[in-house]
Structure 1
């Protein structure tokens, strides 16, 4: 007759529950996996499969009951770690979306927006286009696989423990978030420079020939030139996005080390 003690049962629950919570938090907040178009059952199922594969190599777990206050504190920590990792990766996609917003504003397409289920708000068409381009580049460079590898590595860099997380890790995340607008501006800078030159030319033309309706002529010119420039510039944005994703993984490594107090 096989007998199972309560301590053994708690140990098995903890070995699956705590890694599962961290993985599920990442699946809900990370790019690609966390999109609203991905069914919730798929996210939970993928997190469960990864947990079964990774749980034996997680390492020693704290001798804490999952139903105790310390166990709930560990669960909350795993949620924070997973969400922080997902947000660190989402910053690169936020930079691409901000670039689309800036270009759309210069082209006169800022009013062309639609409801985006991923953000739950109205999003400019060009911002959505840049986000789709970033997702395709991310998948092309196997970023989703590298992100899963970083998640597995996080259990060695930041083991499951009842010790509080170091405050310096959140500073790394805030510092990376502060660079989103600058990265988006650098991505959109070629288009913004040309479109700004066209707008200045239209302003000079309006002063020299007031009888010419610049508002009727300037919008089609800006829109046409913007579309032509998009066709030229978009294929050249792949190397920049690759470097942006590489920086995201570097920030992710710094984040884990800082949360661990390193």
Structure 2
């Protein structure tokens, strides 16, 4: 409160910038960014987080709200910083969604879609299942606390108004996109391998017995085998989720350091 009593205008200007970074983070990050969560809850959480941070870390800015254009640029910059940190975590969650879509393509579930309230797009049922299982693992392992800690630590690495978008940030994002598809293929590799074997067997049977309708036989066969493989691979899902969480935290760290 000493800062508020000495210079209330500077205090409010700093508080608004912190609040903007917080609210943009809670909009884009998984779990907190789900659209079904009331907006008032997100705003309240961002407000109290900003109150805590402004009391823990003394901060300064070069301009005030009296300078409209420079201060508006700072607000936009802080919004981008918070959004990029949350979006980095969301990209890591998209890995498991892509893996689920690849699995559904092999089983034949691509026509069965469900609505994802976070991304506002249609997802396949296995992709949606994997996504919410990953959210549950995130809550069970308290990984969301590490994301909040990374956001609070970002004020030490990226002071208010000091964010710099270096070329290393873009190369880090591009390299992660390359790894994004590789990891998704690795997760879906057991299902892809099993379905490849089934397609080869069905092809041999089609040549050996042309009178058999392989479409009628292959569709339920792929469905049953796919569900069995899906059930078996769920046993290693905790290890996969831990791997994804490690990549998510390291990628968020790269984004923060790339803007410092």
- Contact conserved, 1:106 with 1:195, CA < 8 A, in 2? yes
The aligned counterpart of 2:25 is 26
- The offset of 1:195, in angstroms, is 1.4
The answer on 1:42 being equivalent to 2:41 is yes
The aligned counterpart of 1:153 is 153
TM-score (norm 1): 0.92
Separation (CA, whole Å) in 1 of partners of 2:106 and 2:160: 48
Q: CA RMSD in A?
A: 1.8
The answer on 1:211 being equivalent to 2:211 is yes
TM-score (norm 2): 0.93
Match of 1:187, SS?
A: helix
Once the two structures are superposed, what CA deviation does each residue of 1:176-219 show, in whole Å capped at 9, x if it has no partner?
23322111111111111111211221111111111111100101
Separation (CA, whole Å) in 2 of partners of 1:167 and 1:10: 35
Once the two structures are superposed, what CA deviation does each residue of 1:123-142 show, in whole Å capped at 9, x if it has no partner?
11111011111111111211
- The offset of 1:162, in angstroms, is 4.9
The aligned counterpart of 2:186 is 186
Separation (CA, whole Å) in 2 of partners of 1:173 and 1:25: 19
- Contact conserved, 1:61 with 1:161, CA < 8 A, in 2? no
The aligned counterpart of 2:133 is 133
Given the superposition, is the C-alpha separation of residues 58 and 178 from structure 1 closer, same or farther in structure 2, using an over 3 Å criterion? farther
- The offset of 1:121, in angstroms, is 2.1
- Contact conserved, 1:84 with 1:173, CA < 8 A, in 2? no
- The offset of 1:222, in angstroms, is 0.4
The aligned counterpart of 1:243 is 243
123-132 or 55-64, which moves further after superposition? 55-64
Q: How does 1:161-172 map to 2 (within 5 A)?
A: 161-162=161-162, 164-172=164-172
Match of 1:179, SS?
A: helix
Q: How does 1:42-81 map to 2 (within 5 A)?
A: 42-67=41-66, 68-81=68-81
101-110 or 241-250, which moves further after superposition? 241-250
The aligned counterpart of 1:83 is 83
Query: How many residues were matched structurally?
Result: 256
Q: Which runs of 5+ in 2 are unaligned?
A: none
The aligned counterpart of 2:11 is 12
The aligned counterpart of 2:104 is 104
Q: Which runs of 5+ in 1 are unaligned?
A: none
Separation (CA, whole Å) in 1 of partners of 2:254 and 2:167: 13
- The offset of 1:108, in angstroms, is 0.8
Separation (CA, whole Å) in 2 of partners of 1:54 and 1:12: 12
- Contact conserved, 2:14 with 2:61, CA < 8 A, in 1? no
